[in-house]
Structure 1
Amino acid sequence: MKILFTVGGSQAAVFGVAPLAAAARSAGHEILLAADEPLMAAAQSLALPALCITPDRMRYGQDAMTATDRIDALLELTRQWTPDVVVGGLSHVPRVLAARLKVPFVRHIWYIAPMARRDRTAIAELQPQLQRLGLAELPEPDLFVDLCPPALRPPGAPAAQPMRWVPRVSQRRTEPWMYTRPEGGRKRVLITAGTRNLMLDTPGSSLRRLVDSLTATGAEVLIAALPEAAERYGAELGGVRIGWIPLDVVAPTCDLAVHHGGATTAMTLIHAGVPQLIVPDNGYGKAVAEAVSGYGAAVMVDRNRPGDGQDPDEVTATACREILTDPAYAERTRTLAAHSAALPTPDEVLRGIEALAAR
């Protein structure tokens, strides 16, 4: 069987689809990953056979702006390599492709933020593409695979096939400090902005104050960041380790993680049973923060609305200290991790996809 996986947006989309793609490849199926140029390095770091279809990054909600180029590129690909199944994510362009090819379509996403309204808008905007390709309508996905634990799904979320989260990130040479806990029972706190540097744009104030507040409690602080951020800011942050840290390796050694609300970050931390302090930098991150904090496994700090007369930096520092001293957060996170670990594996979900192709 040939399975075409398609991704766009951020590296998180590559990391999210990698376990299912790897399971398909290990089962003997042929796979290809169609991606934007900015995502090619991430795909290659995970040893996925990837093909660039557009030079620019696709963003959710902008299907109509790039649909013609993306569909034409995918059609050209499938003239040379015809898939039996198409797997897509947030974008509905792969769904159009599957309808044109008359093959099953699998939607594979992390459904933690309500998106029905945006989906309807995106589908409506693709009507010119359907007409161009001679399609009367856009069929519903044949299978909806959701990586979000059921307890975190928003009200009204569509029925889906749940799948266990399996961490996948770009790796680097592993060192003992990454997979061992600090000596003497010292707490460890990880700060990260995922593959973006937004949290590190102004390290001289907020980040420095947070680091100082955490180290004052005796905690060891790690900062996971892109290499250019480490080179730029490392000297300003004293003896703190900063650089590309494989999150899946270091997460089990942490007592707290402070981050922006990215899907890969949040789920990898949940998988490892690590409580979170989430400072969202956009609407999606806020939805993640609200869901995880609503379960009791995190605290959300909205720096745009810290409260009357409150210093956002002090609010963040206080919340970190609360999580580190109150065992309830760790207990709730471990419960959520156990629920997630009980969900079907990528291998089990693959069997359902194989059944679709066999119809």
Structure 2
Amino acid sequence: MRLLFISGGSAGAVFPLVPLAQAARNAGHEVLFGATENVMPLVSGAGLPGVPLTSKTMKDFMFVDHNGNQMGIPPDPHERNLFNGRGMARLAIGSLEGLIPLVETWRPDVIVGGKLSYAAPLVAGKYDLPYVRHALNLGEPPIIDLSAAAELSPLVERMGLVGLPDAEMFVDTCPPSVRRFDAGPAQFMRYVPFNTQRPVEPWMLSKGDRPRLFVSAGSRVTRDYEFDTVAQLVQKVSPMDVELLLAAPDDIVDALGPLPDNVRAGWLPLDVLVRTCDLLVHHAGGNTMLTGMVAGVPQLLIPQMPKQVGPAERLAEHGSAITLRGGEDTAEVIAESARALLEDGSYRERAAAMSEEIAGLPAPADVVGEIERRFAGRS
């Protein structure tokens, strides 16, 4: 079979799809991975053949409307979710220029699209191909889909479609115990952490006497985007008597200036380090959160975007995390919450239970087998 994976324009949109794409390729299927040109190094770094669908970046579509007008991020949480949906819809429209010729030339048998990659259902509907939708994290608010559908409605009508086609299979990496209450049927799949690697050093494999805290603000941090989040997290956490690991691009680390002696900083491989950590402190990004869940590590979550609040609160309700909302993340509260997560054994017990739940879900290779069973011979 030929499987065409379609992703967005960031590491957070690429990494969740990599394990299934690799499993499909390992099973002998032909795989192509389409995304924005700027993330092609991430795709090729995963050993997958990538096809750039547009030379523009995700930000080009998020912050510029159809008329070329610049837009800022709305402060209202509801409007922020609408903003995200519209931006991802414009990314889908911009990706069709490269995607349609690819589909017509390569003739895939199945389209696999990330949950916010709306170009996937568009081409699946246009060419009557099976469409598999793949989760990116623990679940986005449905309003994002509704906003994207409204933005895409003129194009959908021109393409002769009744609406955005529904997926014939939804691959969900969110464990059942922390899914949204209104989440629909799914083919569950075990989350397999994937991130950019660097050479492993001996200190990464074991920790010293002090608690090891891993701090991250996500993979999209730049000097213009969420830099203050990183700087403030370091300022608030570093005074604690811990070993602090700060995951950030090297240029961001340089911009932070001199760091305390108890801080190691740089582009750190979370999947390697996580099992040596006692606590993750981060912005509630999906890949970071799920990686911690796989390893059974308690988490202190400080959501930066409205869509991250729901997943963070569900994990806190599960008992394996503490979530701090806007304005609660003072240095004192962060230190108090971190101490609770480190000293109260119930958090680690619940985190271990979550790890066991994830380990019991079908592996990516099993899900490839289900795709074969459902869709082989359809095209």
Fold shared by both chains (TM-score > 0.5):
yes
128-137 or 78-87: bigger deviation: 128-137
Give the deviation of 1:316 after TM superposition.
0.7
Pairing 1:342–2:342 present: no
**Equivalent of 1:317 in 330, 335, 358:** 335
TM-score normalised over the length of structure 1: 0.91
SS in 2 for 1:201: helix
**Deviation, structure 1 residue 221:** 1.3
Q: Equivalent residue for 1:85?
A: 110
**Could you give the per-residue CA deviations for residues 47-105 of structure 1, whole angstroms, max 9, x where no partner exists?**
22111111221654124434433223211111221100000121322101011111100
Superposition RMSD in Å: 2.0
Q: Which residue of 1 aligns with 2:66?
A: none
What residue is the counterpart of 2:327 in the other structure? Answer: 305
For residues 85-124 of structure 1, what are the structure 2 equivalents within 5 Å? 85-89=110-114, 90-110=116-136, 112-124=138-150
Counterpart of 1:305 in structure 2: which amino acid? G
Instruction: Give the one of 254, 259, 268 matched to 1:245.
Output: 268
SS in 1 for 2:280: strand
**Amino acid paired to 1:68:** I
Contact 1:6 1:94 in 2 (8 A): yes
Tell me whether 1:194 sits opposite 2:218 in the alignment: yes
CA contact (8 A) 1:188 1:253 kept: yes
Q: How far off is 1:354 after superposition? A: 1.2
Summarize the Cα distance change of 1:347–1:103 in structure 2 as closer, same or farther, 3 Å threshold.
same
Q: Does the CA-based 8 Å contact 1:196-1:226 persist in structure 2?
A: no
Post-superposition offset of 1:161: 0.9
Equivalent position of 2:195 in the other structure: 169
* Equivalent-residue separation in structure 1 for 2:21 and 2:252 (angstroms): 31
Cα shift at 1:11: 0.5
Q: Alpha-carbon deviations, 1:14-36, whole Å to 9, x = none?
A: 11000000000001111111001
2:32 and 2:50 in contact (8 A); partners too = yes
Structure 2 unaligned runs (5+)?
63-83
Query: Does the CA-based 8 Å contact 2:92-2:117 persist in structure 1?
Result: no
- C-alpha distance in 1 between matches for 2:138 and 2:193: 17
1:254-308 deviation line (CA, Å, top 9, x unaligned): 0001000000000001111110001111112222211111111111112x232xx
The AA in structure 2 aligned to 1:49 is P
Residue of structure 1 in register with 2:76 after alignment: none
Q: Specify every segment of 5 or more residues in structure 1 that has no aligned partner in the other structure, as ranges.
A: none
Q: CA deviation at 1:111?
A: 5.7
Partner residue, 1:329: 347
Aligned to 1:208: 235
1:223 to 246, 254, 262: 246
- Segments of 4+ moved more than 6 angstroms: none
Contact preservation (8 Å) 2:299, 2:321: yes
CA distance in 2, matches of 1:42, 1:87: 18
Compared CA separation, residues 244 and 120, structure 1 to 2 (3 A): same
- SS across alignment from 1:339: helix
Residue 233 of structure 1 is matched in structure 2 by 256
**d(CA) in 1 for partners of 2:375, 2:105:** 19
Residues 79, 244 of structure 1: alpha-carbon distance in 2 compared, 3 angstrom cutoff: same
Deviates more, 1:343-352 or 1:224-233: 224-233
Q: For residue 195 of structure 2, what is the amino acid of its counterpart? A: V
